[in-house]
Amino acid sequence: MNLENDPNFFYEEYRGHIIASSKNNVPENSISSNLIVYYNSDSPEYAFIVGSDKNNELGSKESFKQMVDEARSYIDLCCCQDLNRGIEKPGTALPIVDIEGTDFFVDVTRFQLIEVFNSNNVIPFIKMEDYGDYYSFDYNKLFKNVPEHYNKNNIEVDIPQFVELDPNGMAHKYGITLEQVSAKTDFDFIVDQKEFDLRVNQGRLPTIDIAGHLFYVDMRMDKLRPKDDFLSNGITFSEIDDHYSEERKAYLIPYDPQKHEFRRLDYDKISSIPTDLLAIEIPFQQELDPVGWNRQNGWDIKQDLKHLGIKSHFKAKEIDWKNTYIVDIIKDNLERLNQKEERPKVKTEISKSKGRKI
């Protein structure tokens, strides 16, 4: 199979390998969705069909990103197997950082560290604490990773920014010169600078589409404020605090699409799914407006932006009521109501008082 300069494919190079992606790829499982991975000097040696997002819930861009990540993971596995056999193909090596006696590759394509001889052992960026010009994380020498729980044997490890760990990789990834990389920080690359400028310098509030109506994320007013509806109370965060779902990592609220408001339900009495309300999933405030969240709490406005990112617009998810907690609540209420109705009535005789005896 000759794919060189084939106009029907997109190409990406990673660790001396080529990832060729068909321009006809779709998010669903399909014979037309394929990524072909091969070593740069060879003809294609491995092809696989990936459907990372069967329902297309993430959208084509996110789905494609997952597909490419799977291809990179396959290449990592191939390189690791070669190293364990004492082989290292030219161009497959990445910069190495030593962490307490164990070598890790520095992967700037996904901002992570990969153990050299065990590609399944990965320290992702999300597990690193950001201190501006360096990162820190707890490290367990036995597991060679960030521990899930505290252990007195854990060690705190500090590593430099990725622009210092692999400046060449950063230059290649973003298509700039080494000189340009040296003048920048990780923040300049990881955080969308246009979005950051819109929010911080131009003061534009993020927005969220809820069932077709636009809301402003207004942290000063502690609410989602509906556009062009001054009679609406909007959605106040303090009012929906008890509707936060740890499982979903978001708020799940009853929403009135006519009044553009949150509607509190009487969970002790509700006996049927409300037909005039929608179940809406809304991200947490810190995700919706990390800059406003930092300002509100008196923190540096850049805090956690590398991990969270910054977006100017969101779309709330509409959840089927049948997939929410309300189904079990209604079931319990109906059972309790039926038990009351089925309870046998006990006749009580009313004794007529004859009065006090003298």
Handedness of CA 101, 105, 108, 110 (dihedral sign): negative
**Predicted confidence (pLDDT) per residue in 90-135, tens digit:** 888 899 999 999 999 999 999 999 999 999 999 999 999 999 999 9
**43 residue type, one letter:** S
Place of tokens 């056999």: 85
In this structure, the strands spanning 134-139 and 35-39 are unpaired
Taking the C-alpha atoms of residue 111 and residue 105, their distance in angstroms, rounded to an integer, is 11
Quick one: 266 exposed, middle or buried, by C-beta within 10 A (0-12, 13-18, 19+)?
Answer: exposed
Distance CA(193)–CA(48), nearest Å, equals 36
Residue 244 confidence (pLDDT) above 60: yes
Determine if the pTM surpasses 0.85. no
CA distance 129 to 135: 5
Q: Cα separation of 227 and 216, whole Å?
A: 7
Query: What's the chain's average pLDDT?
Result: 85
Write the single-letter amino acid at 200.
V
What does the pLDDT look like over 264-287, one tens digit per residue?
A: 999 988 999 999 999 999 999 999
